[in-house]
Each structure stands twice: as structure tokens, then as C-alpha cells.
Amino acid sequence: MKKRSLVFIVLILTTIFFSACKPKVKQVPPTPPPQVKEQPKVEKVEPPKETAKRPLTEEEIFMSQSLEEANKAGYLKMIHFDFDKYNIRDDMKPILAQNAAWLKKFQSVKILIEGHCDERGTEEYNLALGERRAKSTFDYLVSLGISPDRMKIISYGKSQPLDPGHNEEAWAKNRRAQFTIIEK
């Protein structure tokens, strides 16, 4: 039995010895799952609602136009004269008052006042009458407070009819003072 005990002890010691000599495997903790960085919470921003754009003012519209566009827009209304006359008719004075108010609003504007006549009469006579019409219009605007430095006059006589007709209706349209904006 001694022998058996001895074998048994040797077996136990061998087992202990081999288990002690066995290289230990390092217990590596399991790798944590990759960390997902939390994105900062971004509030969902609504695209700006299209607000109704404010309408352009008369000044903004006028200043954005070329001289040609401004003249076509008709800010300044023409006036008409009686046959062979150059005095300002009573029914034309409110139109000139409106033109003067507009010119006061736009202080930098300079204008050309054109005097026109109908086809009757000689060229020389109509040029002189057109000049008197432009001058009387000029003087009336000065009396309404418009600086003479902002206005020039010219006569076209009968050379630029508004209506090419040969009757009283056409002639009445052609006897006029017309305004052209020449500088803003």
C-alpha cells in the first residue's frame, strides 16, 4: 500500500507541477464594442418660410430704371394747348401741379420741356410757337417751386407730331408740351 500511496502522491504532485508550469493565458477582457460618438443633437431647422417680399417703393422703382424706361413709364404727363396759343390752360394746371409735386419728390431729376405744334403754319412760325409753349410751361413750373436749373427747353415745332392725322383731333394732340427726363 505504501507503494500505491507513493504512486498516488507522485501522480498528484505531477499533476500539480504540470498545472503550475502550464503557461497562463492572459484573460483579455473582451474588446468593448466600438463607441459610437453621439452626434450633438441638431434641431431640425425649418427652411425659412418665404415671407412676402415688401413691394418696392416708387423711389426704388424709379432709381432702378434707365432714363429710357423712366420716360416710357410716364411719370411726367404732357399738357396741351389751344390753337395758336401758348398760355397754360386752366384744365392743364392740375397736371403741371402733379408734375411739380413729382419733381419735388425727386430733387435730382433734370428735365427737358419740349414745345410742339400741329402741322399748320410755317416751320419758322411753329418753331417760335413751340418755344413759347415750352417757355410758358417752364415759367409755370418755376412758379410752383421747381428750380430753373433743373429744366431746359427746346422747340420741335411741327417736326414731331404725336398723331399723324390731318384733322382737328390729331392737331389737338400735337399742340403740346412734353417732358423728357434727362438726368436722375
Question: How many CB atoms sit inside 10 A of residue 92's CB?
Answer: 19
pLDDT in tens, 161-176: 999 999 999 999 999 9
Tally of residues, the chain:
184
Mean per-residue pLDDT of the chain: 86
Reported as a pLDDT band with limits 50, 70 and 90, residue 85 is: very high
Q: What's residue 22's pLDDT?
A: 57
pLDDT at 63 over 90: no
* C-alpha–C-alpha distance, residues 158 and 170, integer Å: 12
Nearest to residue 79, comparing CAs of 115, 109, 127, 123? 115
At the fourth CATH level, the homologous superfamily of domain 78-183 is OmpA-like domain (3.30.1330.60)
Rounded mean pLDDT, 141-166: 96
Of 6-15, 65-74, 139-148, give the lowest mean pLDDT range: 6-15
Reported as a pLDDT band with limits 50, 70 and 90, residue 62 is: confident
| The residue to which cell 408734375 is assigned | 99
pLDDT in tens, 97-135: 999 999 999 999 999 999 999 999 999 999 999 999 999
* Domain ranges, ordered by start, for the chain: 78-183
Contact (CB, 8 A) for 129 and 121: yes
Of 43-52, 86-95, 134-143, give the lowest mean pLDDT range: 43-52
SS3 readout for the chain: CHHHHHHHHHHHHHHHHHHHHCCCCCCCCCCCCCCCCCCCCCCCCCCCCCCCCCCCCHHHHHHHCCHHHHHHHCCCCCEECCCCCCCCCHHHHHHHHHHHHHHHHCCCCEEEEEEECCCCCCHHHHHHHHHHHHHHHHHHHHHCCCCHHHEEEEEEECCCCCCCCCCHHHHHHHCEEEEEEEEC
pLDDT at 94 over 60: yes
* Conformation bin of residue 97: beta by default, left when phi > 0, alpha when psi is -120 to 50: alpha
Reported as a pLDDT band with limits 50, 70 and 90, residue 143 is: very high
* C-alpha–C-alpha distance, residues 162 and 117, integer Å: 10
pLDDT in tens, 18-56: 666 555 566 666 666 666 666 666 666 666 666 668 888
Q: What's residue 58's pLDDT?
A: 81
Residue 43: exposed, middle, or buried by beta-carbon count in 10 A (0-12, 13-18, 19+)?
exposed
Q: What's residue 60's pLDDT?
A: 85
* C-alpha–C-alpha distance, residues 11 and 7, integer Å: 6
184 HSE (CA, 13 A, CB side): 14
